[in-house]
Structure 1
Amino acid sequence: MPTPLTPQPDRPPHVGIPDGLPTPGRFTHLHPDDGACLMETASMLATGSFTDSPPGTHPVLAALTRAVNDTVSDGTRRALWPLAADLADANPADRAYGPLLVGTVVDAARRVRPASRRLKRHSTACHRRARRLAHAPTWQVSPRIADLLWWHGPGHRHLEHALHVLVTTPDADQRLSELLHQAVAQARRTTNAASTGSAHRTAPSPSR
């Protein structure tokens, strides 16, 4: 588990933020001059466009990032800013990634409310779906549509409920920061593994 970054209130407000990037802020923004959320910064690094839903970031990971960005304190938000570079290219093709990530957040909420039957049902549903989709084809259109319908329906509701539980804890900043670090690291590992595997499959055979 990664060690959460501890905000340092006596440090300058832009420590760790490269020159030229907007000031970290909550919610969405109309222009970089007004500041930027973590996903808007990731989008600028990836494509130069200013949006909180860049194509290079998995939509479930982007939703978690937006929620964490808008919830944590200013100091924790600044400490999370180096994640923008990894978020810019964190889009696992594995169909199990989305429900697995939601299940991970739900499980974190269950540690806060272990007696919650609702959270238990949500966790079971997410992990069951992730197991079913593990190694499933990723190129077909109809399964992708099914994944979007799941995410915009029960998946999104499960994530929101779990986050509502987590933000009630006294150490919400630390819990959310750890969750986001874990999620980004896992997404990058999965994305890099897929890229490496694809490169190996397409590499020409050495001549004899």
Structure 2
Amino acid sequence: MQPASHQTVRLARGRHERPEQGACVMELASMLAGERFSDKPRAVCPVIGAFLRTYNDLLADEPRQDLYPYAARVVGTNRGKQAERVRARMCWQFARSLPASGLFRMPVLAWGRRRREAIAQRAAMAAACSQPDAHRRVLQLLDDLIAVARSGPVPDFPTELLAASRAGRR
């Protein structure tokens, strides 16, 4: 049996010990980053990683394959806490825009790493439970999350989104 590579592996749900068993999108990212095979590659922003691990596992097999190019695109997104904060807020705002946002009753109070990752996981759950067009919106969200900090310093979170989040808490 020939060893699996980033070119031959098929995206699958769950965690895997070896690429020959399949790989989730984050395990594929670890392969592409040249890291040890893991679903938590250091080169990937923890918020993006939490979102993708959860979403990968909730998708049916066919749409999961749409995540394949994102394994490469997320490598190099680990750009620090400010980028994580912005991305977590983007996930929070995205989840609140979905019909399944009832799953997402998490106030924006603390933005510690675990909290930021939990927000991303909840956003992925809300997306997976939404209408079929949510998958297209998730792919756009991923593009937006990846774009944060790609070309220079991380901007402050957009004030209009922050104002909207505050209005939603009342």
Same fold (TM over 0.5): yes
Aligned to 1:56: 43
Which of 1 and 2 has higher RCO (CA within 8 Å, sep 6+)?
Answer: 1
Report 1:33-182 matches (<5 A): 33-93=20-80, 95-112=81-98, 119=105, 121-122=107-108, 125=109, 150-152=112-114, 154-171=115-132, 172-182=134-144
Report the secondary structure of 1:112's partner residue.
coil
Are 1:91 and 1:191, in contact at CA under 8 Å, matched by a contact in 2? no
Percentage of pairs with the same residue: 24
Moved over 6 A (4+): none
Are 2:30 and 2:39, in contact at CA under 8 Å, matched by a contact in 1? yes
Are 1:72 and 1:173, in contact at CA under 8 Å, matched by a contact in 2? no
* Aligned CA distance change for structure 1 residues 120 and 29 (closer, same or farther; 3 Å): closer
Give 1:182 shift: 2.1
Residue from 180, 184, 193 that aligns with 2:152: 193
- The count of corresponding residues between Structure 1 and Structure 2 is 147
Separation in structure 2 between the aligned mates of residue 26 and residue 38 of structure 1, nearest angstrom: 9
Are 1:119 and 1:162, in contact at CA under 8 Å, matched by a contact in 2? no
**Residue segments in structure 1 that go unaligned for 5+ positions in a row:** 1-17, 130-149, 195-208
Normalising to structure 1: TM-score of the pair?
0.60
Are 1:39 and 1:52, in contact at CA under 8 Å, matched by a contact in 2? yes
Separation in structure 2 between the aligned mates of residue 39 and residue 115 of structure 1, nearest angstrom: 25
Query: What per-residue deviation string (whole Å, max 9, x for no partner) do you get for residues 62-87 of structure 1?
Result: 11111121122322221221122222
RMSD across aligned C-alpha pairs, in angstroms?
2.8
